[in-house]
Structure 1
Amino acid sequence: MRQRETLPAVTDAADPSTSTAVPARDDRLHQPWRLAVAAVELVLAVAAGWAATWCWGSAVTTVTIHADDGTELVSHVYEGNWIGLAFVAAAVAGLLLVDGARQIVLGVRTRRRRRRRVSPQARPADAR
């Protein structure tokens, strides 16, 4: 006759020494120092936005040619390397803004850690 396998009790799942389940919320993510990281990222995002604007302005060159008959020809030359650098700087600024917002959320939503009570049923057998 076969013996039935007994499943662990629900309270055993709360014990980290016997459980392999991943906790629903990781308290290591929510730290107040993330607000300082967010401030630095937001300053860097402003600097990257300024760099994108400056690169875009440097990408356009106006060329004026005066003809012999007195006409004036005006051309705008767009330099691709500066335009590409402006797009890269804008993308970096956008990523820094998104990650800065994430850091703010993780820094603000910190909670005091409460000590979790472990029921006698959930304690390992050697701790009793």
Structure 2
Amino acid sequence: MTEAVTEPESDTVVEEPEQAPPAGPSLHQPRRWLIAAGEAVAIVVLVIVAVWCWNRGIVRLEYPIEGRETLVSARYHGNWLGTAVGAATLALLLALDAVRQIMLAVRARPQKAADSDM
């Protein structure tokens, strides 16, 4: 039988990683109200852009015919409709984040109250 070869143990010292300084209250910050307000403005602008693009994406065409009703049809432009859907989707995502920002701002505690809990 063959013998297993083992390497000699080395005298290397494994250093412990340094402890990271404790992070401050990063989630609960009242300045999140400003972020939510900015997102609300962006939501309004995106909804206006989405409605404008949607209206440009659908073109009504009328063909008059003698002795009959006017033939009305619609032509759809995919680039405008796609832009409208994209703008509405982005507005929805910003609305969700604005709600999140508001909830974190409301739950923020003043520094005195946070220190007294320790």
TM above 0.5, yes or no, is yes
For 2:98 and 2:25, the matched residues in 1 are separated by 19
In 2, Cα distance between the equivalents of 1:73 and 1:116?
74
Uncovered stretches (5+) of structure 2, i.e. residues with no partner: 1-17
- Which of 106, 109, 123 is residue 107 of structure 2 equivalent to? 109
AA at the equivalent of 2:40:
L
Is 1:73 the equivalent of 2:71?
Answer: yes
* DSSP-derived class of the 1:64 partner: strand
Q: Distance in 2 between matches of 1:66 and 1:92?
A: 41
| TM-score in terms of structure 1 length | 0.65
Q: Which residue of 2 aligns with 1:85?
A: 83
> Whole-Å Cα distance in 2 between the matches of residues 102 and 75 of structure 1?
44
Letter matched to residue 32 of structure 2: R
The match for 2:12 is none
Counterpart in the other structure of 1:59: 57
Distance 2:93 2:77 in 1: 25
CA distance in 2, matches of 1:27, 1:83: 43
1:6-45 equivalence runs, <5 A: 27-45=25-43
Q: Secondary structure at the match of 1:110?
A: coil
SS of residue in 1 equivalent to 2:30: coil
Alpha-carbon offset, residue 39 of structure 1? 0.5
User: Partners in 2 of 1:37 and 1:29 — Cα distance?
Assistant: 13
| TM-score, length basis structure 2 | 0.70
SS at match of 1:76: strand
User: Aligned residue pairs: how many?
Assistant: 96
Gaps of 5+ in 1: 1-16, 118-128
CA separation in 2, counterparts of 1:29 and 1:36? 15
Aligned mates of 1:27, 1:35 — CA distance in 2: 16
Match 2:95 to one of 97, 119, 126? 97
CA apart distance, 1:29: 1.0
Structure 1 stretches of at least 4 aligned residues deviating more than 4 Å after TM superposition? none
SS at match of 1:50: helix
Q: Distance in 1 between matches of 2:98 and 2:89?
A: 14
